[in-house]
Amino acid sequence: MAAPTAFTDAQGQNNIDRNSKQYKDLDLFFSRKSVSNDVNTVTDITAVKRSVRNLVLTNHYEKPFHPEIGSGVRDILFEPMTPFIAHILTVKVQDVIENFEPRARVIGVSARPDIDRNEYELTIQFFVVNAPTELVELTVMLERLR
């Protein structure tokens, strides 16, 4: 029998041994736990959302020993803003998520160009494999920097 916890709902069952599909990543903001001064971890939906965002913002050859991982969206940001380029952007993002993030099932990707601000509003909708009933929507603003 598991030790009693302060949780009364299903969240208290996340740390038991039978739950084999809990997703856990390091918090890349490197915030510390107040008790042990160890780096915090993010779990489940938050972990997958951060992983998807990091995949979208990673260039090819940026990850050591894995030159194939990356979306290449920064190269597209210097092209003229047309509907065709926005479509290429959505295809590249969808491909990188489907190929390198097995915890996410992509439903849709849309890129809305904002010509006045010279940026794209990228919206990604996906389901997390561990929680298939909750649709997750992630919005990333892509702008070119000089």
User: Of 106, 86, 87, which Cα lies nearest the Cα of 96?
Assistant: 106
pLDDT digits (tens, 9 = 90+) for 76-114: 888 999 899 999 999 999 999 999 999 899 999 999 999
- The dihedrals phi and psi of 81, each to the nearest 5 degrees, come to -80, 100
Q: What's the gap between Cα 131 and its chain centre?
A: 15
What are the chain's domains? 22-30+37-143 (3.10.450.40)
pLDDT in tens, 19-74: 456 676 666 655 666 677 666 777 678 888 888 998 999 999 998 999 999 998 98
CB 138 within 8 A of CB 112: no
What whole-number distance in Å separates Cα of residue 30 and Cα of residue 26?
8
